[in-house]
Chains A and B, each alone.
Chain A
Amino acid sequence: MTLLILLLCTIGQPSGSGSDSFSPGFRIGFSFMTSFPSMQNEKDFADMNTAAGLDFELGSVAWGGSLELLGDLSEKFRIRGSVGGSNFSGGYSEGYNAMQNMFLILFTLGLFSGSSEEDVIELNDQAITLEAQAYYVLTRSSGMSISAGAGPIYTFATRKLKSPNTSTSGSGSGLGFVASIRLDQESTMNLGCLPLMLGLEGGYKINSVNISDEEADDYELDFSGPFVKVGTYIGI
Chain B
Amino acid sequence: MGKILTFLLPALLLISAGCDTTTYPFDQVTEGFTFTYDLPNEGLVDLIVLNCYMNNVRTLLADSTQSSGSHSSSWDLLDENAVRVPNGLYYIRIILDDDVIETKLYEVHT
> A215 in the interface, Cβ–Cβ < 8 Å?
yes
Task: Please determine whether B7 and A166 come into contact, CB atoms closer than 8 angstroms.
Answer: no
Task: Please determine whether A165 and B87 come into contact, CB atoms closer than 8 angstroms.
Answer: yes
Task: Please determine whether B15 and A53 come into contact, CB atoms closer than 8 angstroms.
Answer: no
> B14 in the interface, Cβ–Cβ < 8 Å?
yes
Task: Please determine whether B53 and A217 come into contact, CB atoms closer than 8 angstroms.
Answer: yes
> A45 in the interface, Cβ–Cβ < 8 Å?
yes
Interface residues of B, count at CB 8 A? 33
How far is B87's CA from A161's CA once the two chains are assembled, in angstroms? 11
**B17-74 interface (Cβ within 8 A of A):** 17-18, 21-22, 24-26, 28, 50-55
**A74-132 interface (Cβ within 8 A of B):** 94, 96-97, 100-101, 103-104, 107-109, 112, 114, 118, 120-121
Task: Please determine whether A107 and B54 come into contact, CB atoms closer than 8 angstroms.
Answer: no
How far is B90's CA from A168's CA once the two chains are assembled, in angstroms? 11
Interface string of B80-110 (1 = CB under 8 A from A): 0000001111010000000010111101110
Summarize B's interface: helix, strand, loop or mixed.
mixed
Task: Please determine whether B14 and A216 come into contact, CB atoms closer than 8 angstroms.
Answer: no
Contact residue among A41, A48, A51, A107 (Cβ-Cβ distance under 8 Å from B14): A107
> A38 in the interface, Cβ–Cβ < 8 Å?
no
Contact residue among B17, B24, B51, B105 (Cβ-Cβ distance under 8 Å from A164): B24
Contact residue among A44, A108, A118 (Cβ-Cβ distance under 8 Å from B22): A118
Contact residue among B11, B54, B102, B107 (Cβ-Cβ distance under 8 Å from A104): B11
Could you list some 20 contacts between A and B, CB below 8 A?
A48-B50, A48-B54, A52-B26, A52-B91, A54-B105, A97-B18, A103-B10, A104-B11, A107-B8, A108-B7, A109-B7, A112-B15, A114-B18, A121-B89, A161-B52, A161-B89, A166-B88, A166-B107, A168-B87, A216-B53
